[in-house]
Amino acid sequence: MTAALWLVTGTDTGVGKTVTTAAIAAAATAGGQRVAVVKPGQTGIQPGSDDEPDMEVVRRLGGPATVLTVATYPDPLAPLAAAQEAGVPPLALGDAIEAVESVAGTHDVVLIEGAGGLLVPMGEGGWTVADLAMALRCPAVVVARAGLGTLNHTALTFEALHRRGLSGCLVLGAWPDEPELVHWHNLAELPGDLAGVLPDGAGGMAPGAFRDAAPGWLTPLLYGRADPERLRADGVPSPPPDWPEPIDLSR
């Protein structure tokens, strides 16, 4: 494999993983990278419903070259439980690895979006996205909330990564328009290298506006241009004057 691989996971469900994945895809694409996004297990999509699958959100907002969903289940459950409820064979870890490898040779960046948190059971034998990251030896992008309760969940996620010998960086999935005291304290105290802050409501932006803005939400580590020194200070991404080239720490 020649691509830079990133696992996009979260401290919980609903923290902004999909929009963050789209933002990274948009920033990398704007920088001239050919991007693929892989979703091993999509749940909560009923046949014939109007619900937009995660990879369609990523395609619409971020514009990556390729999106791929390996398995889809109708019930809004963890992928292993959803497969059991649907009466279909659960996804094998080897199939998820094969899906990533199938696009890695023809893309510069491959983003792998998990389901829920790092240790959610994904498929056969109860494997998790942490197991997938270990098999692929790729770092994680941990997407977290900005508000109350995030410190413990985020610390536990990074501890689980580090115990497995995996590295990771932090992105806040939704920074409020009017942050309160708790948000400022969390911004200063959250563990991990802060690599991005997305504004609340980013997923509702028009695709063109989203793609134009996304590089300013992310630091060069995630192919953006936000100043890493300013994110912790004011929560508002601001590009440095020289816009440094992205730093590839994924290999």
Over residues 11-18, the mean pLDDT reads 95
The residue behind tokens 């802050």 is 197
pLDDT given at position 245:
52
Of 198-207, 209-218, 235-244, give the lowest mean pLDDT range: 235-244
pLDDT given at position 249:
43
What whole-number distance in Å separates Cα of residue 245 and Cα of residue 113? 24
Identify the sign of the CA torsion 87, 103, 117, 125: positive
pLDDT given at position 229:
84
Continuous segment of H or E residues that includes residue 175: strand 168-175
pLDDT digits (tens, 9 = 90+) for 145-196: 999 999 999 999 999 999 999 999 999 999 998 999 999 999 999 999 999 9
Bridge partners (DSSP) of residue 4 are: 109
> Please, what's the largest Cα pairwise distance for the chain?
55
Domains, the chain, ordered by start: 4-234 (3.40.50.300)
pLDDT given at position 247:
46
- pLDDT greater than 50 at residue 6: yes
Over residues 25-47, the mean pLDDT reads 96
Residues taking part in catalysis: 39
What whole-number distance in Å separates Cα of residue 69 and Cα of residue 160? 26
- pLDDT greater than 60 at residue 231: yes
Q: How confident is the model at residue 40 (pLDDT cuts 50, 70, 90)?
A: very high
pLDDT digits (tens, 9 = 90+) for 57-113: 999 999 999 999 999 999 999 999 999 999 999 999 999 999 999 999 999 999 999
